[in-house]
Structure 1
């Protein structure tokens, strides 16, 4: 089983790369954003609970997110592994994810971070904003703030995974296939 945390700032290409890696390695892609949307749309108990926090502009507590994640992992215990996208975001979440995977007889093998210069991110997101309909991809000030928050939040995770010798920075600039090849070299070396 191969379990990867895929990281990168907004616009780094995580979703695109997760899809490619999912196909190539037959892994399950778990996006916390998709997970939240699914639970809220289907009005599950966890979805209602998460929505109650989101409606107040608050972060969903770790315990709620972990319960959703655990349910998703348990649905696919027969898989060859997982790509975690959008989780963890804090050291406490990283520790919880490690505990969850250990309870399933597995572990996180790598945190792969797509490294992309800020100006390239801004350019990509503004371009995506023209077609995505997402307001947060159409405003350069909002984009720059999202990137800033990403760095502030994730720096501690970078250190967490470095201490475990599981951090891998990958150049996220180039063609989609070039970037997939760079990530694949990391995965193949695990």
Structure 2
């Protein structure tokens, strides 16, 4: 039970943080999933990109993601973002280490049946939660307004948590 609590807390910290490569932060979410470049993400557009990403991440095409495949795909996106960053090398190293640790935790949380294999269904469930979190007005389209409202809600939750911990 304690392990599940720690994993849940870690996942909440991951999803609530302003992680560089996390596609579930508002502006990054729109950037990563806006295939037609209209400044918003419809659910069908999101699902299509998630399906493409799952297949690309499944390097050996066995229909499921190993932790190595999952973290490897994330690492590649993170490295692109770090390369474009103007942060110091020391800060990039710290960010890389933190983000990769969190990617391993995310895999463990998302692998619901704990068989060390993330199925398409497990991956899709994670995506559905991410989309629902970003779609603030629940109209099936994530806009900049939705992203801003979600960011404000997440910031308020972080501030409340910080205040409670003091």
Both proteins in one fold, TM over 0.5 = no
Structure 1 length normalisation: TM-score?
A: 0.28
Instruction: Identify, as 1 or 2, the structure richer in strand.
Output: 1
Instruction: Identify, as 1 or 2, the structure richer in helix.
Output: 2
Structure 2 length normalisation: TM-score?
A: 0.30
